[in-house]
Amino acid sequence: METQIFRVTSEKDEAIDRAAEILKKGGIVAIPTETVYGLAGNALDGTVTDKIYAAKGRPSDNPLIVHISDLAQWAPLVSEIPEAALALAHKYWPGPLTVILPKSEIVPDEVSGGLSTVAVRMPSDEIARAIIEKSGVPLAAPSANTSGKPSPTSAKYVIEDLSGKVDAIVDAGDCSVGVESTVISLCEAPPRLLRPGGITPEMLTEVLGEITVDDAVYNKLADGEKAASPGMKYKHYSPDAQVIIIKGSFGEYKRFIEENRTEKTVALCFEGEEKELPVRAVTYGKRDDSSDQAKNIFDALRRVDELGADKVFARFPETDGVGLAVFNRLVRAAAFNIIEV
């Protein structure tokens, strides 16, 4: 199919109406959000969401997040909204937080990946909210990449992955957060963090009190182990090159590269460090700034492939605050391969 590209700079552009028209008619459209680009379609129509799975090559048991533009769209999707969920919404919506609750009957099984729960979020990106509002329905929107590849933080990568497979792509420049939303399940007590993101564990604790962090955030699932967040069991965010995380000081990292480099080695390091390294390098943000790293990590993972890297030696990020989200994505890109030096 031919994919239309709409370049927009504000939520008032008329291209927003054209994107919404396509969605109303059951089409699928890649849209910008503050986290990463999403591939959107009517969340209440399983035939539409099937097209999303097909375009991405996403396994059908990996559920989709439903995006809303107005709090009133939430209640019909879930069996009930507990106090704690409302408190989270009031504090962090619109924003990069996804809340899981038991689903209502109007949510198709295709969207929930066969689970009895549904993940919902209200994005803070004005263009995303305008598209949802004008399309008149909640939109299912997983990251707009080919399943397994790094999530797209600019339209260029969406075009690379999905051209010819979707009805339209709305290009609004770079995403401001750069990693996907935080996912928290309120279907158990205490609530369980399934995926770290821009809303940190500390920010969740502030509203919810005690939370648990799912084991899969830090560790590789054993073969056959059931994932609370089905997306976590899949190989993820991977460049074609092999990524290895090197844990140690910059001096130790540099020495490791000197001793182990080949022609095609690429360093994935922090800004400024590249000047001191004997190999080609891609940077992923400032050393002491986890938000900056979050904004740059997926782009950096795409760029190492553009350099034709075979092995990528990556710096180990701080893991507190938003750093947990950065680590979580990087460790999956590295298939949990960490070398301590």
Q: Which residues bind Mg ion (CB under 5 A)?
A: 143
Please report how the helices 323-333 and 290-306 are oriented relative to each other, as an axis angle in degrees rounded to 10: 20
Closer to Mg ion by Cβ: residue 20 or 40:
40
Q: At its nearest, how many Å lie between Mg ion and the CB of residue 30?
A: 13
Residue at shortest CB range from ligand AMP: 231
Question: Nearest distance from residue 139's CB to ligand AMP, in Å?
Answer: 12
Say if residue 224 is exposed, middle or buried (CB neighbours under 10 Å; 0-12, 13-18, 19+).
Answer: exposed
Q: Which residues contact 327 (CB under 8 A, 6 or more apart)?
A: 316, 317, 319
Residue 258 CB neighbours (<10 A): 11
286's CB contacts (< 8 A; 6+ apart) are 270, 271, 292, 293
Contact status: 180 vs ligand AMP (CB under 6 A): yes
Using CB under 6 A, which of the segments 171-179, 229-237, 255-263, 277-285 binds ligand AMP? 229-237
Q: Segment near ligand AMP (CB under 6 A), from 4-12, 124-132, 223-231, 276-284?
A: 223-231
- Shorter beta-carbon distance to ligand AMP: residue 180 or 292: 180
Residues 135 and 97: their CA atoms lie apart, in Å, by: 22
**Residues between 121 and 150 that touch ligand AMP (CB under 6 A):** 142-143
62-101 binders of ligand AMP (CB under 6 A)? 62-65, 100
Task: Out of 229, 290, 291, 296, name the contact with ligand AMP by CB under 6 A.
Answer: 229
x-or-dash string of contact with ligand AMP, 96-115, rule CB under 6 A: ----x-----------x--x
- Spatial separation of the C-alpha atoms in residues 259 and 15, rounded to whole Å: 53
Q: Is 71 exposed, middle or buried (0-12, 13-18, 19+ CB in 10 A)?
A: middle
Strands 242-247, 311-315: pairing kind: parallel
| Residue 6 or 237 with smaller CB distance to ligand AMP | 237
Distance in Å, CB of 237 to ligand AMP, minimum = 10
User: Which one of ligand AMP, Mg ion, none is in contact with 207 (Cβ closer than 5 to 8 A by kind)?
Assistant: none
